[in-house]
A = this chain, B = another copy of it.
């Protein structure tokens, strides 16, 4: 684990939280998106114990173990709750299935009647196991490792809800957003409320930081970015902060590099995740000194390891020294990544000179 750094009050603070509060611990704290997952043999073994992926996420015994697996192997500065962004539509009553090798499939919601069938009646009950997972993980985490909770941002969750799958051409959601602005706004409203409630519950359970994944922010038409990304994110940040002012919030609008300055200024996030297509050095110049940046090694470099990974890692570190920073990938760990490359990367980051 990183050397502990004292804060101004003289008591120790977890490095991840120090960076999220505007501190500049160095070497920087590090965790990896999808650090729990199929690249780990112990994850693949664990996954066989649940019939469905949703059952896996909602069984605390299994989700706790999946969350902790990478922490047992590697000196990471944070664990991230093992869950999925589609638990929210599932808990609202939309049919969600995970099909092997095909990804998630949902019965699409494209009109007011389908939207009206969603219900919060069993929302908290359905998601209660997530709180159990958070409590269970907190009880087992080392003192200097922080626990990050998360949810999908409304635009990204809406893409799955409307398209019925991920990574499509997004022509259905764009059509609906333009043709039926009332319906689309109502769907985003439902997601703002549900996501805020879900993140507040995660904070109640003991999550120490929260990340909003807006994985498809890069395909939002320019004329919809304010209403579909900025405003819903700002409302969630406001609601969560009102309930848990102590919990920092990381936004990750993937692919929206040209909007980052506006995103940071107008959503109120404490930190922003940066994808690998975007230059950390450029964003550092665009955001206030207090806003932490998180990213952005290309996961292909982690998969391949070696000199190329080392060079890029050194470049990232050099560009971020002196600014609040959390080392991470610019997208999730690839399934084909050898676990020993993660150890190699952590050596590089945690060996960075002060």
Binding site for B on A (CB under 8 A): 171, 174-175, 178-179, 218-223, 255, 257-258, 260, 276-280, 282, 296, 298, 300-301, 303-304, 306, 308, 312, 315, 330, 334
Contacts and interface: CB of A to CB of B under 8 A. Distances in A.
A179 B298 CA distance: 13
B308 A179 contact: yes
A260 B301 CA distance: 26
A220 B315 CA distance: 17
Nearest to A307: B179
A280 B260 CA distance: 17
A241 to B, nearest CB: 28
Given A218-B255, A257-B257, A278-B258, A178 B223 contact: no
B300 A174 contact: yes
What is the total number of copies of this protein in its complex? 2
A276 B255 CA distance: 14
7 contacts: A171-B334, A175-B304, A178-B304, A178-B312, A218-B277, A255-B255, A257-B257
A304 B179 contact: yes
Q: Which of A223, A260, A334 has the most CB of B within 10 A?
A: A223
Given A255-B218, A257-B257, A258-B282, A300 B223 contact: no
Contacts of A280: 222
Contacts of A221: 276-277, 298, 330
Given A179-B304, A221-B277, A223-B279, 9 more contacts: A171-B334, A175-B303, A178-B304, A179-B306, A218-B255, A219-B277, A222-B277, A222-B279, A222-B296
Chain A contact surface mostly: helix
A178 B301 contact: yes
B178 A300 contact: yes
A343 to B, nearest CB: 20
A138 B179 CA distance: 39
Contact of A298 (B174, B300, B304, B330): B174
A328 to B, nearest CB: 15
A45 to B, nearest CB: 25
A4 to B, nearest CB: 32
Contacts of A306: 179
Contact of A178 (B277, B282, B296, B308): B308
A222 B300 contact: no
Q: Which of A171, A178, A277 has the most CB of B within 10 A?
A: A277
Contacts of A175: 300, 303-304
